[in-house]
Homo-oligomer: A and B are copies of this chain.
Amino acid sequence: MMDIIKYPKKEDWGRLLDRPLQDTGTLDNIVLPVLADIKMNGDPAVRKYIRKFEGACPDNLMVTEDEIKEGVRNTYPELKNAIDRAYRNIESFHRAQYKGVKRITTAKGITCWQRSIAIEKVGIYVPGGSAPLFSTVLMLAIPANIAECNDIIICSPAGPDGKLHPAILYAAYISGVSKIFKIGGAQAIAAMAYGTETVPKVYKIFGPGNQYIMAAKQIVAMHDVAIDMPAGPSEVMVIADSDTPPEFAAVDLLSQAEHGPDSQVMLLTTHPEIIKRVSREVKRQLELLPRREIACKSLENSKMIVLSDDDQIMEMVNEYAPEHLIIATKNAEELAEKVINAGSVFIGIYTPESAGDYISGTNHTLPTNGYAKFYNGVNLDNYVKKITFQQITEEGILNSGNSIMIMAEAEKLDAHKNAAGLRLKYLRKEK
């Protein structure tokens, strides 16, 4: 089912590590008119596209207080308890990322510092579909709350009953979300980017979604808002050796494969003998999976690769730049030190990727499609702007003013030069 490749030549790595191709050009053509219409016409256009793409449009786009209370009530205690645990872990990991003011005296009389200030308004997209992704709410709203963003809004398509899943409402409720709207698709992205009569404009949009959502996010990111990151299909790379229980390797591959038919899963090993055992386990477990059709398709894009040593393994990891990297080998900690490009790393046989999706505390919104070479997953930084401040004393400008003048003159910016020059003159006259 998964391709098995043994000791590939270096010149074939590029092709081997290629992601399944996505055609993005046609998406823009579908999404652009939706964005333009909503920018111009607000709520009526939003309702039009909900009817067109999602089916019935709820009378009330905004979730009421009563609906939230109902959701909180209808989330069963066991799930509430699990969500609360996840909340605490995510909260403590993200709060530790907070960095206070740091004042630096860079030169005599010059003090500089950086202050992290929350982005005032953020929007979170929570996909609809078969499963209620309350974990997305936790991952994207908790750091917004820690950062102290003023407005934290959510858009998510309502189900056929016109409601959002109770667990989504519960997660939103405990994470300090201000407003929730029953809007899905590109119309949700447009509503948050431009604002409508009902939906407030936000400054930054977070959250996963299908290709239309992603295309819409990238278009609005060009001039109107920031986004968390571009995204493609989800992926995992698992490094296994003879110490890795084959059922663990198999289930970790499958838990990525079940995300979507375009997910990609890869197994790397220097132990050719484990390939057969892991394959057998994949086949066995797959039969029992409700989402086996999806997983099956995704396994067709996927590969088991045998390499000759750990250096090659880590070279391939860093070239592929996986969203999730599971290192289930005996020397997992040692290999983890050599990771240069990855979204999130799972060390040891008791650290499945699903731990990171829910409970460990790290964020599960991660760079896909090789973007881990230049983006990281969502963290507290994504919710703040780091504004710089500087303050120069009389002594400071007397000491450094001349350097400003020399450099400004060399860059042919005379007013820049005069800005220092006039201050020096003023101070010298005073004395």
Residues of A whose CB lies within 8 Å of any CB of B are: 24, 78-79, 81-83, 85-86, 88-90, 92-93, 96-97, 99, 102, 104, 106-107, 110, 112, 114, 117, 119-120, 130-135, 167, 203-204, 218, 222-223, 225-226, 230, 245, 247-248, 251-252, 254-255, 257-259, 285, 288-291, 295, 333, 336, 339-363, 367, 371-377, 379, 381, 384-394, 396-397, 400, 402-404, 406-408, 410-420, 422-423, 426-427
Task: Give bound CA distance, A295 to B420, whole Å.
Answer: 18
Task: Pick the most buried of A99, A257, A348, A363: most chain B CB atoms within 10 A of its CB.
Answer: A348
Task: Say yes or no: B89 contacts A106, CB within 8 Å.
Answer: yes
Contacting pair A390 B426 (CB below 8 A) = no
Given A104-B96, A106-B93, A359-B110, residue A345 in contact with residue B390 (CB < 8 A) = yes
Residue numbers in B under 8 Å from A245 (CB-CB):
426
Q: In the complex, are the beta carbons of B255 and A387 less than 8 A apart?
A: no
Residue of B nearest to A354 (CB): B416
Whole-angstrom distance between the Cβ of A85 and the nearest chain B Cβ: 5
Contacts A/B (CB < 8 Å), 18 sampled: A86-B403, A89-B107, A96-B102, A107-B361, A110-B355, A110-B359, A117-B339, A120-B340, A226-B374, A285-B418, A289-B415, A291-B414, A344-B389, A347-B390, A352-B423, A356-B388, A356-B390, A359-B404
Which residue among A167, A343, A408 has the maximum number of chain B CB atoms within 10 Å of its CB?
A: A408
**Distance from A428 Cβ to chain B, minimum over Cβ atoms (Å):** 13
Apart from A110-B359, A353-B416, 5 more pairs, CB < 8 Å: A82-B403, A92-B104, A345-B389, A348-B392, A354-B417
Q: Which of B204, B375, B411, B419 contacts A135 (CB 8 A)?
A: B411
Instruction: Give Cα distance in the complex from A361 to B126, angstroms.
Output: 41
What are the residues of chain B within 8 A of A413 when measuring CB–CB?
A: 131, 255, 258-259, 291, 354
B226 to A222, Cβ gap below 8 A?
no
Quick check: A410 and B132 within 8 Å, CB to CB?
yes
> Which of B82, B85, B255, B336 interacts with A416 by CB under 8 Å?
B255
Closest to A109 in B: B350
CA distance A82 to B24 in the complex (A): 49
Question: Would you call B223 and A385 a contact (CB within 8 A)?
Answer: no
| A357 and B420 alpha carbons, distance in the complex (Å) | 12
Residues A375 and B381 in contact, CB atoms below 8 Å apart: no
**CA of A346 to CA of B397 in the docked complex: distance in angstroms?**
13
The reply to whether B89 and A339 form a contact with Cβ atoms under 8 Å apart is: no
Q: How far is the CB of A52 from chain B (nearest CB, A)?
A: 26
B110:A360 contact, CB within 8 angstroms: yes
Identity of the chain B residue whose Cβ is nearest the Cβ of A225 in the assembled complex: B374
Query: Which residues of the other chain, B, contact A389 by a CB distance below 8 angstroms?
Result: 336, 344-345, 347, 362
- In whole Å, how far is A430's beta carbon from the nearest beta carbon of chain B? 11
Question: Nearest CB to that of A349 among chain B residues?
Answer: B423
Bound form: Cα–Cα A410–B357 in Å: 13
Are the CB atoms of B419 and A339 closer together than 8 Å?
Answer: no
Nearest opposing residue in chain B for A363, CB measure: B388
Looking at the assembled complex, report how far the CB atom of A373 sits from the nearest CB atom of chain B, in whole angstroms.
Answer: 5
Q: Which residues of the other chain, B, contact A218 by a CB distance below 8 angstroms?
A: 222
* Complexed CA–CA distance, A93 and B248 (Å): 46
CB distance from A354 to the nearest CB of B (A): 4
| Chain B residues within an 8 Å CB radius of A408 | 354, 357-358
Q: Are A258 and B391 in contact (CB under 8 A)?
A: no
B258 near A414: Cβ-Cβ < 8 Å: yes
B107 touching A407, Cβ below 8 Å: no
